């Protein structure tokens, strides 16, 4: 139903094409950046340096991704897009992501989610390069990020609604995602620097998108004859990489949020003393 740009193909084959296209683009990016490392050295960006890395997402990967986005940012500037326009375009693809996932189209969902993540990085890039960075723009960007994440998880909940443990897992990942973001906002409001922690916005986007992109390959290879849940009206394929990504986000995001909130509370307590 939602293989919107691939008419005439079955749902599974259409999602597989989305997945293989994205994986191919990623492979090209890795090859291109490897050649750059070999002949010209690594790319360095202030934004990547400020955000830093974690055990779950290395700084080198972030530098490679940001390097690959530079031409995209220049294109949006050339076309006259404002940062807010790019943010709202990200929101549009976020809605499409949720709808795609609600129908079990992991490949197209991963494709739309990739576009969201790219646009989420590009809007800030355009704002800085055009001198249009502002506090109001940051508010719009942060709000769009929360909406996009909600649509992703909401789509999965709709799809997994007959499987209670998957609904609980998805809600746990949603809770962790929002609490990590809340801890960051609370720290900024209290002027406290929290531990960097793990599963911040960039890491969550990478793991969740990768889970969605790899799910059609798992379904094609292992789940074509799946009939789960057997008691449901509409048997579904689980998409094991998606479930694994949800588990990783649920565990590490909630753990990171608790550590960060405790550190913030201790810092404020120490300040008052």
- Tell me the catalytic residues: 145
Tokens of 192: 């406290």
Assigned token pair, 171? 């809600």
Q: Using an 8 Å Cβ cutoff, are 235 and 229 in contact? A: yes
The answer to whether residues 31 and 120 touch, using CB atoms and an 8 Å cutoff, is no
Can you give the three-state secondary structure of the chain, one letter per residue?
CCCCCCCCCCHHHHHHHHHHHHHHHHHHHHHHHHHHHHHCCCCCCHHHHHHCCECCECHHHHHHHHHHHHHHHHHHHHCCCCHHHHHHHHHHHHHHHHHHHHCCCHHHHHHHHHHHHHHHHHHHHHHHHHCCCCHHHHHHHHHHHHHHHHHHHHHHHHHCCCCHHHHHHHHHHHHHHHHHHHHHHHHHHHCCCCCCCCCCHHHHHHHHHHHHHHHHHHHHHHCCCCCECCCCCCCECCCHHHHHHHHHHHHHHHHHHHHHHHHHHHHHHHHHC
């Amino acid at each position: 139903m939602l293989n919107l740009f691939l008419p005439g193909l079955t749902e599974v084959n259409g999602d597989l094409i989305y997945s293989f296209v994205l994986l191919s683009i990623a492979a090209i990016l890795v090859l291109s950046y490897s050649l750059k490392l070999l002949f010209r050295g690594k790319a360095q960006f202030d934004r990547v340096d400020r955000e830093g890395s974690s055990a779950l997402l290395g700084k080198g990967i972030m530098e490679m991704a940001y390097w690959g986005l530079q031409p995209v940012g220049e294109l949006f500037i050339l076309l006259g897009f404002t940062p807010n326009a790019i943010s709202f375009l990200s929101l549009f693809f976020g809605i499409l992501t949720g709808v795609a996932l609600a129908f079990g189209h992991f490949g197209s969902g991963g494709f739309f989610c990739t576009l969201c993540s790219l646009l989420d990085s590009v809007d800030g890039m355009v704002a800085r390069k055009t001198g249009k960075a502002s506090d109001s723009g940051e508010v719009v960007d942060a709000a769009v990020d929360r909406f996009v994440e909600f649509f992703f998880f909401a789509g999965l909940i709709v799809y997994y609604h007959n499987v209670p443990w998957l609904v609980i897992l998805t809600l746990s990942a949603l809770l962790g995602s929002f609490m990590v973001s809340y801890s960051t906002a609370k720290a900024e409001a209290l002027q406290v620097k929290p531990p960097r922690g793990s599963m911040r916005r960039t890491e969550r986007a990478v793991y969740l998108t990768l889970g969605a992109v790899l799910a059609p390959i798992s379904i094609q290879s292992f789940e074509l004859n799946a009939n789960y849940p057997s008691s449901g009206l509409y048997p579904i394929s689980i998409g094991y990489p998606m479930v694994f990504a949800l588990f990783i986000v649920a565990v590490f995001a909630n753990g990171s949020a608790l550590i960060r909130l405790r550190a913030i509370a201790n810092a404020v307590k120490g300040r008052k003393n």
